[in-house]
Every structure is written in C-alpha cells, then in structure tokens.
Amino acid sequence: MDYRDLIDYKKAFKLAMRIFEISKTFPREEKFSLTDQIRRSSRSICTNIGEGYRKRRYPAHFISKLSDSDMENTETQVWLNFALACKYIEEVTFKELDQEVIEIGRLLNFMMDNPEKFGSKKP
C-alpha cells in the first residue's frame, strides 16, 4: 500500500486543493498572511501523513508525524474561522470545509490509536 491510497491522505489532499482554489479569491492584501498560511497548513496535513507513513515501522515516529498532521489540520480550521469572520468565504462553504477538517481529524486520531493497522510495528 502507498500513502496516497490512505483515505485520510485522499481527503486531506482534496481539502488542500479546494482551499487552494477558494483562496484565489481572497483579497490581495491577504497574500502574505491568510492566503499563504491556510495553503501551507492544509498542504502540511498531507505531507505529514506521507512522511509518517514512510516511517511507520517506528511507532513513535509514525504517531509523532500524524500528531503533526493533526496540528496542521487544526491550524487550517483556525484559518477557516478567520476567512469566515473576514467574510472571504460564505457560511455554507465554511461549514462544508469545517466538516472535512473534522473528518480528517477523526481519521488521524484513528490512525494514531491503531498504528499497527497501518503497518507500524508493535512496541
């Protein structure tokens, strides 16, 4: 199995690409703050899943990278809160994206709680 086959990775990648498209409409003055930050954090969810999966034979490292991914997921959620408050996205869009973030978080927590199901060696 490849990390790109993981449901969580697929969902996180889809979220990052959706945020990329939506953030194209953010005001120009947000380019170096909100736009860059939300793109970076949403992409980091995926990169940490991929990095962790490659080190899955080491449970502590695997879980650590998944924890980093979970942090980036939460950071993305915070930036979405700002985007909504600044009226850069509609509430319906926010709710959809927020639900995706919540689902990704649940999947990440499942992976952290069950690393052996993803090829991690038992400690």
Digit-by-digit pLDDT tens for the chain (123 residues) are 899 999 999 999 999 999 999 999 999 999 989 999 999 999 999 999 999 999 999 999 999 999 999 999 999 999 999 999 999 999 999 999 999 999 999 999 999 999 999 988 765
What is the distance between the alpha carbons of residues 4 and 13, in angstroms, rounded to a whole number?
9
Query: Is 87 contained in some domain?
Result: yes
Query: Is 57 contained in some domain?
Result: yes
| pLDDT the model gives residue 21 | 98
Range of the domain at 59: 3-115
**How many domains in the chain?**
1
Written as six digits, the tokens of 4 are 């790109």
What is the distance between the alpha carbons of residues 50 and 61, in angstroms, rounded to a whole number?
12
Query: Is 82 contained in some domain?
Result: yes
Query: Is 122 contained in some domain?
Result: no
Q: Which residue has the tokens 């869009």?
A: 93
Give rounded-to-5 percent helix, strand, coil for the chain.
80, 0, 20
CATH code of residue 11: 1.20.1440.60
| pLDDT the model gives residue 54 | 94
| pLDDT the model gives residue 123 | 58
Query: Is 27 contained in some domain?
Result: yes
Q: State how far the alpha carbon of 110 is from the alpha carbons of 21, 36, 66, 78, 107, in Å.
A: 29, 29, 10, 22, 5
CB pairs under 8 A, 24+ apart, for 94-99? 97/15, 97/18, 97/19, 97/22
Q: What number of helices (H) and strands (E) belong to the chain? A: 4, 0
Query: Is 120 contained in some domain?
Result: no
Query: Is 19 contained in some domain?
Result: yes
Q: Which residue has the tokens 């449901």?
A: 7
| pLDDT the model gives residue 32 | 87
Query: Is 123 contained in some domain?
Result: no
